[in-house]
């Protein structure tokens, strides 16, 4: 009983109690088995003590301290529970736009008919939530890992492959891979460090590109409305257009494949700046200002307006922590020669 009171007193003072701590508070309150106070008896007792009953003399009555204590604890408990409920509702309705969002995992049941027909994943964007319908090669259930704006997460697949998801991305993958292939479906951007298995290729499928890998590290970017890209850091990977798996292009490290106008173009690139997002950095080297601002807009969930169209393709070098506030980012952008940026409400204006 004393321990329960101590827990209550300590947690009552901590307005930022975690979910686990809130559970402990509720458990402590439940163990107390406190009965609802008899308010009439309490008021009568108090009135008699203070001699408030119509000038009538009355014998002094002892007020049980246990009754007063139980009444006090009951009131405190009611206020605390109400506080926690309001606090929880507030958190749900008022998300912090700058705070990283959670990595969501959703199980998606698939039918054998979809698997047999070889249907591809269909992505449906509704606000910041993504739903998908797809099937693995053997018709098994797929899991969905999702990130919102301002958030990148890492997960490890059942074969040991490591995956980093960039902001606004969705990865569909089976709970357990088959013995013949390891196939995942991507919308957005992800960096893969694939566990080598020569007999079981790792396949990344997007809306427009298919990459087949035997054990390597590479980045795939496939955001809606943007040219799909594959960046090979190490190892070997074969890339092809979706629906044209019979004509793959074999890539070498430090190459980037871009799907433009229905054709895949392969070029040599410095991969280092292109994958630093997984290390928590904005890293642009001789990149168009438009590309920089698009990435910042996506990360901080703000609109970007170019009042000065002449600087769209201005080449800039820009490095910053993704954990920085938007105000700090704007300040650092303005330190670049020839760049003038203002923040206004939910917009960044390039002047």
CATH code of the domain in which 331 resides: 3.55.50.30
Does residue 86 fall inside a structural domain?
yes
The domain boundary, picked from 37, 71, 93, lies at: 93
One domain for residues 284 and 254: no
- Per cent of the chain over pLDDT 90 is 50
Mean pLDDT over each residue of the chain, to the nearest integer: 74
Residue whose pair of structure tokens reads 């955001």 in the numeric block? 223
* Contact present, 311 and 339 (Cβ < 8 Å): yes
* Contact present, 178 and 185 (Cβ < 8 Å): no
* Contact present, 11 and 25 (Cβ < 8 Å): yes
Distance (Å, whole) CA 182 – CA 193: 13
Q: What is the pTM of this model?
A: 0.61
The domain boundary, picked from 243, 271, 299, lies at: 271
Residue whose pair of structure tokens reads 């997007």 in the numeric block? 206
Residue 247's pLDDT is 86
- The tokens of 61 are what? 């009555």
pLDDT at 256 over 50: yes
One domain for residues 9 and 74: yes
Residue of 44 and 21 predicted with greater confidence: 44
Distance (Å, whole) CA 93 – CA 91: 6
State the pLDDT confidence band at 49, using cuts at 50, 70 and 90. Answer: low
Report H helices in 197-268. none
Residue of 275 and 49 predicted with greater confidence: 275
| Domain residue limits at 43 | 2-93
One domain for residues 147 and 172: yes
State the pLDDT confidence band at 138, using cuts at 50, 70 and 90. Answer: low
Mean pLDDT, range 58-77, rounded to an integer: 46
One domain for residues 143 and 261: yes
- In eight-state DSSP terms, residue 178 is -
The domain boundary, picked from 249, 271, 293, lies at: 271
Residue 229's pLDDT is 96
Residue 208 burial by CB count (10 A; 0-12/13-18/19+): exposed, middle or buried?
middle
Does residue 51 fall inside a structural domain?
yes
State the pLDDT confidence band at 93, using cuts at 50, 70 and 90. Answer: very low
Mean pLDDT, range 112-135, rounded to an integer: 38
- The tokens of 134 are what? 């797809």
Distance (Å, whole) CA 198 – CA 202: 9
- In eight-state DSSP terms, residue 351 is -
Residue of 52 and 51 predicted with greater confidence: 51
- The tokens of 98 are what? 């700058």
By residue count, the chain amounts to 351
Q: What are phi and psi of 27, to 5 degrees?
A: -65, -40
* Contact present, 234 and 225 (Cβ < 8 Å): no
* Contact present, 237 and 230 (Cβ < 8 Å): yes
Residue 122's pLDDT is 38
């Amino acid at each position: 009983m004393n321990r329960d009171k101590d827990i209550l007193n300590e947690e009552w003072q901590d307005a930022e109690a975690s979910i686990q701590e809130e559970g402990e508070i509720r458990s402590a309150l439940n163990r107390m088995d406190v009965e609802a106070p008899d308010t009439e008896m309490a008021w009568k007792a108090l009135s008699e003590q203070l001699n408030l009953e119509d000038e009538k003399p009355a014998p002094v009555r002892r007020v049980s301290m246990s009754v007063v204590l139980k009444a006090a604890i009951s009131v405190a408990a009611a206020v605390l529970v109400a506080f926690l409920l309001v606090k929880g509702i507030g958190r749900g309705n008022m998300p912090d736009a700058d705070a990283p969002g959670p990595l969501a995992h959703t199980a998606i049941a698939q039918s054998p008919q979809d698997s047999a027909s070889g249907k591809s994943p269909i992505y449906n964007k509704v606000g910041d939530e993504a739903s998908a319908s797809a099937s693995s090669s053997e018709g098994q259930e797929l899991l969905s890992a999702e990130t919102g704006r301002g958030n990148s997460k890492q997960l490890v697949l059942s074969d040991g492959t490591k995956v980093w998801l960039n902001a606004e991305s969705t990865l569909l993958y089976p709970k357990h891979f088959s013995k013949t292939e390891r196939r995942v479906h991507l919308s957005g951007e992800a960096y893969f460090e694939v566990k080598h298995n020569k007999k079981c290729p790792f396949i990344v499928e997007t809306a427009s590109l298919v990459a087949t890998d035997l054990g390597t590290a590479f980045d795939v970017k496939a955001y809606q409305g943007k040219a799909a890209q594959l960046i090979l850091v190490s190892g070997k990977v074969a890339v092809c257009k979706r629906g044209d798996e019979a004509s793959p292009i074999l890539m070498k490290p430090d190459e980037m494949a871009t799907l433009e106008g229905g054709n895949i173009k392969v070029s040599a690139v410095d991969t280092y700046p292109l994958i630093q997002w997984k290390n928590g950095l904005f890293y642009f080297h001789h990149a168009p200002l438009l590309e920089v601002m698009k990435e910042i807009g996506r990360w901080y969930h703000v609109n970007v307006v170019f009042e000065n169209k002449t600087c769209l393709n201005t080449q800039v070098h820009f490095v910053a922590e993704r954990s920085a506030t938007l105000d700090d980012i704007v300040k650092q952008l303005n330190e670049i020669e020839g760049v003038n940026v203002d923040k206004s409400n939910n917009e960044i204006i390039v002047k």
